[in-house]
Homo-oligomer: A and B are copies of this chain.
């Protein structure tokens, strides 16, 4: 049952061994029409075949004249020129006949009757003439070899008489999804089914990198079937990507198939995620076995497949731009691997802060939300919070700088505000991370966030938020802005089959509860009530099962994994659950005073005060927005 990775090559070493094994990939080229060559890569330097302009032409509207006939012209001695003999009329761009050698512009001409002009200054040879080859001279270099052709290059090439260019072929890339449990999107899902989306992501990546993707049907875990699929894809393509899955059995199939049909050069590279990658060669064509977990797959695609696909086209991967950022959380890493950590970047108080996102290999959303990647070298055991690190950018700096960072308590309305903010002003984005109310205040303390949504109940006074601001952020000038008052309650299955109405009901033998994580306001609300009622948490089945937001709790109830959870009304209705109200609570926004006057905060406050936002709250239900946007506490 145990999986063995055959090797743990360092990434660059693995690529060197692999690329050497494959040999020269750049051989295949083709000739295409210049106007179809946008984005293609030149094989050799391209030199102009003709000059542009290919004749001497007028740079002005006016007359083409003989300069020798103008020598005597002056203010006091106008010279009369006669059409046909001394000049012809030319527009800009018109050719200059051999007998003329200058152009006098229309503004310097005085009409002197039919077919005649007077001039009052002499002209020098070649004035206002665009000489042959002014722009491009025959034999001049237009674009160098291994140059990615841009629209402006197409123009210059055609102008230089080049109607065809030799370019590297776009590699055909076959993509084989495998796995008995893998199903097509849209299939009615059974427990255990996994929707194939990796192959669709790969296809889009391959296109972005200039390859021509060809996706094959899903192949079940059957040695012979996988073998046949690989043979076919290997014949039909330049490169094969096989999504080898993560179960032990399937990986064995893939590696054995590659070994049988060709050569499994490398199995296992010292990167995380992505370590079980397979690099093989069949009939001199590369085949990559890509791990099944989406994040592992992503890094194998980015770090290995991308380089291969670009190499086919004579290109190197551009180095991603790096920025310096302060790491907000300690990041442990294994000495065995080069580790790629997805981070969310915030531009807070004039510098970047990087917050690591979920590190699980299956965290598709961490790829969607990542602004950058922090690489932790193989020989480094971890990086402490507060360290300045280099982050490779996946998002552009302008967007990051225009992103409002919200770290703290979760409510579905933060997503709604995010969307409305961006639609109100396309420049701005909102990024929210759910770490619970306490985590949000700590993030304010360390300068990681612009705002912290919070709903912390003071166990002693029964009041919300203010005492915690004073306790956790004693030296800071923090404003408290009213977001909403909202209803918390029990989320239960439709019809409330277990008849849960009170906190006491959670201790019933047949009731399974699902809790929120420590530090969240909702957890505090539960503990406050249990404490008040003298209920021992240990008597609640599921008290120790923690979810990180309202929707996840609701989803667990909806799926029947739990009978009840505590959360907001909107999450219950979104999931089609019943809701038993417990109390009203104050969901507010803690914002450092120094940010209150920034454009983005002002726009955000206008957003939550907008009718559009309030209409959405009405739709969701359970929110009181009568005071939304008001500053309810300010120190100064």
Q: Interface residues, chain A, CB within 8 Å of chain B? A: 1-3, 34-35, 38, 44-45, 47, 50-56, 61, 89, 91-95, 98, 106-107, 124-126, 130-146, 150-159, 161, 163, 181, 185-186, 189, 191-198, 200-205, 207-208, 246-249, 292, 294, 298, 316, 318-319, 321, 360, 362-365, 367-368, 396-398, 412, 415, 418-419, 422-423, 426-427, 429, 542, 544-545, 547, 549, 551-552, 554-556, 558-561, 571, 574-575
Look across to chain B and name the residue whose beta carbon is closest to the beta carbon of A133: B555
Contact for A144 among B201, B208, B418, B571, CB less than 8 A: B418
**How far, in whole Å, are A249 and B319 apart by their CA atoms in the complex?**
50
**8 A/B residue pairs, CB under 8 Å, sorted by A:** A1-B61, A45-B419, A53-B194, A131-B561, A144-B429, A146-B422, A155-B367, A163-B186
Chain B residues, Cβ within 8 Å of A125: 542, 544-545
B142 x A368 contact (CB < 8 A): yes
A133/B552 in contact, CB under 8 A: yes
A247 to B62: give the CA distance in the assembly, Å. 11
Which residue in B181, B368, B419 is a CB contact (below 8 Å) of A156?
B368
The reply to whether B412 and A135 form a contact with Cβ atoms under 8 Å apart is no
A208: which B residues are within 8 A, CB to CB? 38, 151
The complex places the Cα of A579 from the Cα of B453 at a distance, in Å, of 81
Contacts of A319 in B (CB 8 A): 398
Q: In the bound complex, do residue A152 and residue B364 qualify as a contact, i.e. CB atoms below 8 Å apart?
A: yes
**Cβ of A556: which chain B residues have Cβ within 8 Å of it?**
131-133
Q: Are B185 and A34 in contact (CB-based, < 8 A)? A: yes
A126 and B200: CB pair below 8 A? no
Q: In the docked arrangement, what's the CA distance between A285 and B52, Å?
A: 35
Given A132-B556, A156-B367, A197-B159, decide whether A551 and B415 contact each other with a Cβ distance below 8 A: no
* Contact among B94, B207, B419, B574 for A38, CB-based, below 8 A: B207
Whether A368 and B143, one on each chain, are in contact in the complex, defined by CB atoms closer than 8 angstroms, is yes
The answer to whether B131 touches A547 (Cβ under 8 A) is yes
Cross-chain contact B419 with A367 (CB below 8 angstroms): no
Residue of B nearest to A197 (CB): B158
Using A139-B575, A412-B139 as known contacts, say yes or no to A152 and B367 having CB atoms under 8 A apart: yes
Query: In the assembly, what is the distance between CA of A208 and CA of B39, in Å?
Result: 9
The residue of chain B having its C-beta at the shortest distance from the C-beta of A560 within the complex is B98
Chain B neighbourhood of A201, CB < 8 A: 151-152, 154-155
Min CB distance, A552 to chain B, in Å? 5
A195 CA to B318 CA in the complex, in Å? 35
A152 and B298 within 8 A (CB):
yes
When A and B form their complex, which 9 residue pairs have the shortest distance between CB atoms, in order from nearest? A158-B197, A151-B204, A155-B201, A38-B204, A141-B415, A152-B367, A35-B200, A137-B551, A45-B419
Measured in the bound complex, the distance between the Cα atoms of B362 and A155 in whole Å is 11
B144 touching A422, Cβ below 8 Å: yes
CA distance A204 to B243 in the complex (A): 34
Q: Which residues of B contact A571 (CB under 8 A)?
A: 139
Contact of A191 among B38, B95, B249, B542 (CB under 8 A): B95
Interchain CA distance A47-B560 in the complex, whole Å: 22
Partner of A318, one of B398, B415, B429, B555: B398
* Complex CA–CA separation, A52 to B88 (angstroms): 77
B419 near A145: Cβ-Cβ < 8 Å: yes
Cross-interface CB contact of A2 among B2, B106, B159, B544, cutoff 8 Å: B106
Whether B132 and A555, one on each chain, are in contact in the complex, defined by CB atoms closer than 8 angstroms, is yes
Specify which chain B residues have a CB less than 8 angstroms from the CB of A61 in the assembled complex: 1-3, 248
A132-B559 contact, Cβ under 8 Å, with A139-B412, A144-B422, A153-B368: yes
Contact A158 to B138, CB < 8 A, known contacts A2-B61, A55-B191, A133-B556? no
Contact partner of A136 (CB less than 8 A), chosen from B247, B364, B418, B423, is B364
Q: How far is the CA of A53 from the CA of B367 in the complex (A)?
A: 16
Nearest-neighbour CB distance to chain B for A412, whole angstroms, equals: 7
Q: Which of B2, B50, B195, B575 contacts A158 (CB 8 A)?
A: B195
Q: How far is the CA of A91 from the CA of B192 in the complex (A)?
A: 11
Q: How far is the CA of A93 from the CA of B179 in the complex (A)?
A: 11
Give the CA-CA distance A362 to B153 in the complex, in Å.
14
